[in-house]
Structure 1
Amino acid sequence: MIAHTRQRGVAMLIVLWACTLLAILLGGFAVMSRTEGLQARYQFAQAQAHYAAEAGLVQTINGLMSQDPQQRPIPDGRPYPITFDDAKVIVTVVDEDGKVDLNSAGGAVLQALFQAAGAPQQRAISLAAAVQDWRSFGIAGLPNGAKAPAYKAAGLPYGPRNGPFATIEELQQVLGMDNDLYEVVAPVVTIWSGRERPNPVHAPALALAAIPGMTPDQANALLASRQDPNASVAGANGVTHSIRSEATLADGTRAVLRAVVRLRGAQAGSQPYAVLRWQEGDSE
């Protein structure tokens, strides 16, 4: 009788352990299923926001190519709201002609840019010369500039390209440039305009300050004139534009796309535009 009771107790204990183990397994499966469900919803929302941002970008490109001036966005960085499905999309367009071209700008433009961005005069002079030395093919440097020996003396494992800037990010490698100054000037420099100085019609404020002879009063007047909703710069646009499209869903999910596009026009047998640069997110 006692042995039988012990057997029943052992059996009951095994059943209890089995039930406990089963409950743990079921709980784990429930947590895993919930986590997978949340991940799926997050990924779906991210994809939805991404495609909304892409729709805003494509719609803006179509507007830039429109024959109707009223349909073309003014490329001076002003925000354009767009609604796409349940997403709110904000698009900004900047004409690359309004920026400082790292490969074409003269020393006076580069110096004025760096000074306007907060660099002391002597540092701005040296940086302007170093930028010109970076892109020049010769081995002889400018006064206050930097060719290969200067980089070696600074302990850097590289020298100047001795050719045109291939990317905007390359500016970070120029001797004397630091991250703080780069973050300020990066939004207003380009490698795609080919202009010696920015086009003042839609240049950002910092790029306006880099134009020789541009006074603060003139720059402020230009910026103020853009606040007129009836203002138009039809016919003044270039062919290469930076576009930033930010989409936000009702639940706060956000996606940002940035692209540099060059319009080609309606040429037979060719794409109407080319994408020169494509980035997801706001990081450089």
Structure 2
Amino acid sequence: MKRRPQGIALLLVIWLLAMVSLMLGGLLTVVGQELRLSLWQREHTRAIWAAEGGMALAVRGLREPSPARRWIADGRLNALDLDGTRLQIRVRSERGKLDLNTASGSDLARVVVQLGATREQAQALAATLEQRRTGIDKPIRALEELCSWPGMSAALFAELAPELTLWSGLARPEPAFASPALRQALGLAYARAEGSDPGPILSIQSTAIAQGGISAAIDSTVLLSIEQNSRPFRVLRYSE
């Protein structure tokens, strides 16, 4: 009769040990996940800093006094290395994009059709743009406003946004800085970007890829300063 309580006690001890083991296992799993997340956040922060460094390098390249070394703002890839982090930087003049505040609705329709939209989508978007011109609405302040326009889809906006601007003030893009898709859609003649003035407002896409494969990308629009003693540029739009 005395062995029964001892057997029960042994079972309780085994059960408690099993519970403690499970708790310790769960704790170790949580700690491991937190450690990996902390390491990822640290490396991702470094990648963001590197991408911002790429922005600064792009501005320096655009302000290079020597024409032979000056960066060309036609969207070409500039590949660099910054302390072991690979940088992929593209710079494009806003003069090479379609300005929503000055372009015609028919030109917008041509561009969206070139990018894969249907005729119905193109007509709806062009009509909305023309209504904005004749109405009392203020000028378009953000490209994201298009997301609520009739005929716009998320996929179409992703294709269209890189071809649009709000800052050039031109009725049509300058051919020297326009993408092949814009030139074809609008019937623009090919022109060399080398030697052409890109203007003071440019978009910079800077992607940093760390050694561990962690990457960060910054898409921005900047206004270059023409004054020597002021900040080299001012950010008009910034997204990660």
Q: Tell me which interval the TM-score lies in, with the shorter structure as reference length.
A: 0.7 to 0.9
The aligned counterpart of 1:103 is 101
Residue 208, structure 1, aligned to residue 173, structure 2: no
Give the residue type in structure 1 aligned to 2:13. V
User: 2:147 and 2:212 mapped to 1: Cα distance?
Assistant: 37
User: 2:175 and 2:209 mapped to 1: Cα distance?
Assistant: 32
Contact 2:219 2:239 (C-alpha < 8 Å) held by counterparts: yes
The aligned counterpart of 2:233 is 273
Give the residue type in structure 1 aligned to 2:35. G
The aligned counterpart of 1:154 is none
Larger deviation: 115-124 or 234-243?
A: 115-124
User: 2:20 and 2:142 mapped to 1: Cα distance?
Assistant: 59
Identity of aligned residues (%): 32
CA RMSD of superposed structures (Å)? 2.6
- Cα deviation digits, residues 146-203 of structure 1 (max 9, x gap): xxxxxxxxxxxxxxxx221111122233344444543332211110111111111111
How far the C-alpha of 1:69 sits from its partner, in A, is: 2.6
The aligned counterpart of 1:248 is 209
User: 1:36 and 1:126 mapped to 2: Cα distance?
Assistant: 49
Q: In terms of Rg, which structure is larger?
A: 1
Kindly tell me: are residues 24 and 238 of structure 1, through their superposed partners in 2, closer, same or farther at Cα, counting changes over 3 Å?
same
Contact 1:63 1:71 (C-alpha < 8 Å) held by counterparts: yes
Give the residue type in structure 2 aligned to 1:276. L
Give the residue type in structure 2 aligned to 1:48. R
User: What is the TM-score with the length of structure 1 in the denominator?
Assistant: 0.74
Q: Which runs of 5+ in 1 are unaligned?
A: 139-161, 226-231
Give the residue type in structure 1 aligned to 2:215. R
Larger deviation: 50-59 or 185-194?
A: 50-59
Contact 1:131 1:174 (C-alpha < 8 Å) held by counterparts: no
How far the C-alpha of 1:77 sits from its partner, in A, is: 0.9
The aligned counterpart of 2:43 is 45
Kindly tell me: are residues 19 and 209 of structure 1, through their superposed partners in 2, closer, same or farther at Cα, counting changes over 3 Å?
same
User: 1:22 and 1:67 mapped to 2: Cα distance?
Assistant: 69
- Cα deviation digits, residues 77-130 of structure 1 (max 9, x gap): 111101122221111111101001000123553344344334566864664343
User: What is the TM-score with the length of structure 2 in the denominator?
Assistant: 0.86
The aligned counterpart of 2:139 is 164
- 1:233 corresponds, among 165, 171, 194, to 194
Contact 2:140 2:166 (C-alpha < 8 Å) held by counterparts: yes
Kindly tell me: are residues 78 and 22 of structure 1, through their superposed partners in 2, closer, same or farther at Cα, counting changes over 3 Å?
same
Kindly tell me: are residues 120 and 25 of structure 1, through their superposed partners in 2, closer, same or farther at Cα, counting changes over 3 Å?
closer
Kindly tell me: are residues 68 and 33 of structure 1, through their superposed partners in 2, closer, same or farther at Cα, counting changes over 3 Å?
same
User: 1:18 and 1:204 mapped to 2: Cα distance?
Assistant: 69
Kindly tell me: are residues 165 and 14 of structure 1, through their superposed partners in 2, closer, same or farther at Cα, counting changes over 3 Å?
same
Q: Which runs of 5+ in 2 are unaligned?
A: none
How far the C-alpha of 1:134 sits from its partner, in A, is: 1.3
